[in-house]
Structure 1
Amino acid sequence: MYDQTMHPMSSAASNALMSLQNRGATNSANTSGAAAASTAGNVAQNLFENPAIQPSSVINLSNSSDVVIGPMTQYQGPVTIYQYMDATVEARSMQANGGGITHNRHTASATSVQTLSTSSKILFAFILIVLIIIGFIAYLELRHNNKNETKREILFGNNYDTGTFPNLGNGHLVVDREQWGTSEQTKNLTYPLSHPIPYVMITHVGVQSTPCYNIYKCSIKMRTLQDSSIAEKGLPDISSNFYVGNDGNIYVGRGWDYANTYANHSLSVTFMGDYIRHIPDERQLDAVKYLLAYGITNKHLAIDYKLVAQNQTKSTRSPGLNVYKEIIKWPHWYPCGMDGNPRCGVELGMSGTWNGTM
């Protein structure tokens, strides 16, 4: 639709056009549709040839096709159309779309942060659960170990470290039954040893037994002595309460709480070797002194206990001359059963010969 405002210079042309239209209307009553179309075509041709003639505000067309009003440009060949958008228009468009690329970037960034935050929470929760499980397992293990240690007799004082050998002091270890490899064939001991114990008796293995100088050899010797006591002598367990090797360590036999095979009311300590032929090591003698001092401190032994050699209680060469001449120098040695002295244990009603089969 064209602008309806008329130019001042086109009034004459408008009058002429209206005259032509009136004339065409009169002729249309007497002529055919073909004559009217010819007249309209002439008018259009005049409009193009005379620019001074301006078209009217309304043009009525009927039964026509391919009508062009105004100039027409025709191009032969391929045509490329470039569209340029004003920056202001583009900015408004992006703003109308919610921020465009910037908004999308912020949205993607927020989504990534949210995803990362969720993953971090899951990872943290997983690590926390693992730590709780590990802590619970460690607690159960520690409780189990403490329970075992409570049941297990702690023989030698406050320097007993979990998982290590007890230490009497000055490097003298105490090797327990499980540690030297006790037999499973032992019978339950039935004769308890009352505390405090009034007598300590010193013996040796004898029978041309060679001393042992390390924990490996001494452990083998302990198991051999135990097997011999059970199989050959018919005893329920190894004979003595404690044994001492030339390595300076103490090996647990029947321990503090059960009577030895020789006599009740006594604690027997056996030197592992034949000390008629061999000389006891200084560390071996020292270990026995530490053991007896511990016994007094923990009230296993009477504070005035009597120390005797086995050859004072029966006819034997045990504990060997080389051990005997050492222990008679110790302060608790008691000369019973020799040189006219009363026999050992008579004051307790013990039998004359300490040679029981307990």
Structure 2
Amino acid sequence: MSTHAVLAVRRPPLDEALSSGTGLPNSSAVHVGDISVDGSTDVVFDNVTEFHGPVTVQQVRAGGALPAKSDAGEGGAGGEESPVCGVGGPCTIRWALGTLALALGVIVLVVVLATLLSSDGTAVVDGGDASSNAAEGGASHGDELLVSRQQWGGKPPKAPADPLTLPVPYVIVSHTATEHCYTFEDCAAVVRSVQGFHMGSRDWWDVGYNFMVGGDGRVYEGRGWDGVGAHARSYNNISIGLSFVGTFSDVEPPARQVTAAKRLIAEGVRLGKVSPDYVLLGHRQVSPTESPGEKLYRMLKTWPHWRELES
């Protein structure tokens, strides 16, 4: 764009000049730059703006621009006017609808992601943080509650277990008299040490308990549902031995550890491994020991299936 001076010349109309009798001025020619002025009375200099390149001239009205016809509109192939994009025009409506569709798509995506995240396999046992990931062996019920021997790193037994006659009429609860554990890694380590003690120092063919319950809310498989344990003399072949990992003389087990034990017993009944009218006993009731610890034993006495043995 450039701006330069332009000479505008006004000539009086011919009829005006003739009627006035003056005729056309006969003054000498005036030269301005490349412009020659001759026989003009009114000369005006003004500024003009010049655009180099294609120029589109469009009328403007209040509320938006007037529609401009396309090149094809003058008898061409198209003949359609460009859309009006002012307030309330078709452009605005399409833009609003597109924005609404995008917002709805985002909302649907968020809902789907939230649903997937809430069902990604994480299970909570009595408010704990037990994961159902198979590598950690945790879960919410039944067989999934168990951590298999392979998962906790157990050694293979030296000999096959004698079979139990099922369903058994007793469940006997003890404690391992070891340190407590609250994570899968710690509980698996304690269970391995218990197995090592039983197989090494006591020269048993395997860990003595049928199951061990960790403070992480998981149940660790020992001899399982079908094998005779080595946890309570005179009762081994008629009971399931369930041992709480830790020492519970002065402290009670955490709620999730208790919940896991109860769920395991209920699962044993459901599977036909434990009699529906089973009797629950503390280890001290059948052996000369402090197990399962005073605090845990007092708790057991409040469970529905606990019984006092007749002397």
Contact 2:161/2:223 (<8 A) preserved: no
Aligned residue number for residue 270 of structure 1? 243
1:223 corresponding residue in structure 2: 192
Instruction: Compute the displacement of 1:300 (Å).
Output: 0.8
CA distance in 2, matches of 1:161, 1:214: 14
Q: Please tell me the residue identity of whatever aligns with 1:173.
A: L
Question: Alpha-carbon deviations, 1:81-106, whole Å to 9, x = none?
Answer: xxxxxxxxxxxxxxxxxxxxxxxxxx
Residues 1:163 and 1:205: Cα distance change in structure 2 (over 3 Å) = closer
Give the C-alpha shift of residue 194 in structure 1.
Answer: 1.3
Structure 2: distance between partners of 1:162 and 1:233? 32
Amino acid at match of 2:212: Y
The answer to whether the 8 Å contact 2:216/2:257 transfers is yes
User: Match of 2:176, as an amino acid?
Assistant: V
Q: Distance in 1 between matches of 2:216 and 2:134?
A: 22
In 2: Cα distance, 1:332 partner to 1:191 partner: 26
Q: Distance in 2 between matches of 1:249 and 1:260?
A: 20
Distance 1:273 1:236, change over 3 A: same
Task: Indicate yes or no: 2:175 matched with 1:204.
Answer: yes
Distance change >3 Å, CA 334–CA 228, structure 1 → 2: same
2:283 is the alignment partner of 1:325: no
* Aligned-residue offset at 1:205: 1.1
Q: Summarize the Cα distance change of 1:165–1:190 in structure 2 as closer, same or farther, 3 Å threshold.
A: closer
Q: Unpaired runs of 5+ in structure 2?
A: 1-131
Q: Which has the higher strand share?
A: 2
- Deviation of 1:183 (Å): 1.4
Please say which structure displays the higher CA radius of gyration.
Answer: 1
Q: TM-score, normalised by structure 1?
A: 0.47
1:334 matches 2:307: yes
Change (3 A) 1:273 1:164: closer
Greater helix proportion: 1
- The structure-2 alpha-carbon separation of the partners of 1:214 and 1:329, relative to structure 1 and needing over 3 Å to count, comes to same
Cα pair distance change 1:166/1:205, threshold 3 Å: closer
Q: Which residue of 2 aligns with 1:189?
A: 160
Kept in 2: contact 1:176–1:252 (CA 8 A)? yes
2:169–2:278 Cα contact (<8 Å) kept: yes
Matched with 2:215 is 246
**Matching residue's letter, 1:284:** Q
Tell me which amino acid in the other structure corresponds to 2:304.
P
Deviation of 1:326 (Å): 0.8
Shift of 1:316: 0.9
Is this contact kept in 2: 1:168–1:291, CA < 8 A? no
Counterpart code for 1:187 = K
Q: Report SS of the residue matched to 2:269.
A: helix
Counterparts in 2 of 1:1-358, with a 5 A limit? 165=137, 167-169=139-141, 173-184=145-156, 186-206=157-177, 209-261=178-230, 262=232, 263-336=236-309, 341-342=310-311
Conserved in 1, the CA contact under 8 Å of 2:166 and 2:272?
A: yes
* Counterpart Cα distance in 2 of 1:245 and 1:165: 12
CA distance in 2 between partners of 1:216 and 1:260 (Å): 25
Partner of 1:355: none
Structure 1 residues without counterparts, runs of 5 or longer: 1-159, 343-358
Q: Distance in 2 between matches of 1:271 and 1:290?
A: 14
Runs of 4+ displaced beyond 2 Å: 160-170
Query: Relative to 1, partners in 2 of residues 1:188 and 1:212: Cα closer, same or farther, differing over 3 Å?
Result: same
Structure 1 residue matching 2:260: 3-state secondary structure: helix
Instruction: State the 1:189 CA deviation.
Output: 2.6
Q: Which amino acid aligns with 2:216?
A: D
Deviations 1:267-290 (A, max 9, x none): 000011111133200111111110
- Distance in 2 (CA, whole Å) between partners of 1:284 and 1:303 is 22
Calculate percent identity across the aligned residue pairs.
33
CA deviations 1:262-312 (Å, max 9, x no partner) are: 321100000111111332001111111100111111111101011000110
Query: 2: distance between equivalents of 1:244 and 1:299?
Result: 20
Spell out, residue by residue over 1:179-201, the C-alpha distance to the aligned partner (whole angstroms, 9 max, x if none): 000114x2123311111111000
CA distance in 1, matches of 2:294, 2:256: 18
Tell me the CA shift for residue 164 of structure 1: 7.4
- Secondary structure of 1:325 counterpart: helix
RMSD: 2.3
Q: Which residue of 1 aligns with 2:30?
A: none
Post-superposition Cα deviations, 1:54-106, rounded to whole Å, max 9, x if no partner, equal xxxxxxxxxxxxxxxxxxxxxxxxxxxxxxxxxxxxxxxxxxxxxxxxxxxxx
The whole-number CA distance in structure 1 between the counterparts of 2:254 and 2:295 is 10
Deviation at 1:242, TM superposition (A): 0.4
Deviations 1:187-231 (A, max 9, x none): 12331111111100000011xx22100000001111111111111
Rounded Cα–Cα distance in structure 1 between residues aligned with 2:305 and 2:220? 22
Partners of 2:241 and 2:134 in 1: CA distance: 27
Equivalent pairs, count: 176
